[in-house]
């Protein structure tokens, strides 16, 4: 598996991350097999969150992963969401959440901790204090955020001593506004609307790794676009490209993201070993410029 450097951390991670949001849909036996398959493929970066399955996904992962050495696995988790209640980046909540994550994952440390979405009431000084305690205590080695815009990250980084290494953002060929806005600069069409403060360019300038969540989804968890009758042109173009490279449509859809020079790390959500294998094969493909743009346009995106 090819690797990239995660932000400014020096940590080498696979170009494909394994998302564990649906891990609790598997039995312990099947979870063990899935994790072993991922590790055998070199996909040893696992993305969690304390709210996934109400904590069950982390607990199941720990039980299913017991035979494997901790230093062979890269663990990332997220905190800050109190479902249906609030976003909470208070020092007290962050520290308590991480203790819960570590207990469920049966580990002494996280390789990466992300703040899960923005908190309107976040006080960056409190976040900085929590990060210092976690980092100095050896509980968290690296930090990042999710779904934050450029100014939110800059505000946080002004107070936080550790570099913000990651920004996890929704991105797929059908949800590509962060790319489209950069193509439609100075235009009056909808694609030109800058909804995120040019977060793609900002992260590149500041060496922050973008992790793409829902890289095969359209809308907000509305479903996958592959083999979906809503996207006939896109699927025809992806299938044509897949046949050329001798891989599946899944591999091409992810290769489209990997082709971008920002070195984006897709976080895949499959719990199927065969599809996982297909996903990993995307790391072996480098689409040409014409192929990349052809797929982009077939999804309904436009050029000015």
- Catalytic residue numbers read 52
Task: Look up residue 273 and give its two tokens.
Answer: 């070993």
What sections of the chain are H helices per DSSP? 28-40, 56-64, 91-105, 124-136, 150-159, 177-183, 199-205, 232-245, 249-258, 273-281, 289-298
Given a contact cutoff of 8 angstroms between Cβ atoms, the answer to whether 19 and 47 are in contact is yes
Nearest to 295 by CA among 173, 194, 145: 173
Residue with tokens 């009431």: 121
Q: Which of 296, 289, 301, 202 is nearest to 253 (CA)?
A: 296
- Of 254, 285, 286, 281, residue with least CA distance to 172: 254
Quickly tell me which residue has 């035979």 as its tokens: 67
Closest listed residue to residue 146, CA positions, set 77, 192, 99: 77
- Reference 165, options 5, 48, 2, 3; nearest CA is 5
- Which residue matches tokens 């400014």? 8
Count of H-run helices and E-run strands, the chain: 11, 14
**Rg value, the chain, Cα:** 19
């Amino acid at each position: 598996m090819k690797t990239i450097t995660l932000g400014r951390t020096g940590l080498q991670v696979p170009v494909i991350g394994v998302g564990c949001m649906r891990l609790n849909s598997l039995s312990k036996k099947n979870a063990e097999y899935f994790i072993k398959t991922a590790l055998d493929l070199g996909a040893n970066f696992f993305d969690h969150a304390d709210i996934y399955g109400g904590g069950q996904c982390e607990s199941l992962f720990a039980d299913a992963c017991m035979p494997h050495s901790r230093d062979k696995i890269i663990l990332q988790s997220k905190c800050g969401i109190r479902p249906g209640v609030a976003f909470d980046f208070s020092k007290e909540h962050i520290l308590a959440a991480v203790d819960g994550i570590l207990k469920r994952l049966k580990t002494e440390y996280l390789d990466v901790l992300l703040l899960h979405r923005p908190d309107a009431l976040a006080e960056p000084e409190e976040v900085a204090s929590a990060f210092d305690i976690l980092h100095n205590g050896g509980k968290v080695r690296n930090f990042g955020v999710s779904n934050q815009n450029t100014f939110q990250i800059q505000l946080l980084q002004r107070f936080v001593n550790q570099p913000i290494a990651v920004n996890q953002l929704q991105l797929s060929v059908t949800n590509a506004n962060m790319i489209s806005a950069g193509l439609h600069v100075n235009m009056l069409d909808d694609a030109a609307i800058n909804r995120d403060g040019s977060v793609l360019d900002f992260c590149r300038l500041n060496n922050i790794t973008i992790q793409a969540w829902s890289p095969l989804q359209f809308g907000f968890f509305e479903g996958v676009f592959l083999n979906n009758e809503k996207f006939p042109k896109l699927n025809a173009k992806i299938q044509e490209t897949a046949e050329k490279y001798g891989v599946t449509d899944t591999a091409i859809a992810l290769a489209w993201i990997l082709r971008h020079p920002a070195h984006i790390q897709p976080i895949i959500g499959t719990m199927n070993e065969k599809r996982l294998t297909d996903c990993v094969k995307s790391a072996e493909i480098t689409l040409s410029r014409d192929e990349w743009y052809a797929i982009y346009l077939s999804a309904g995106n436009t050029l000015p």
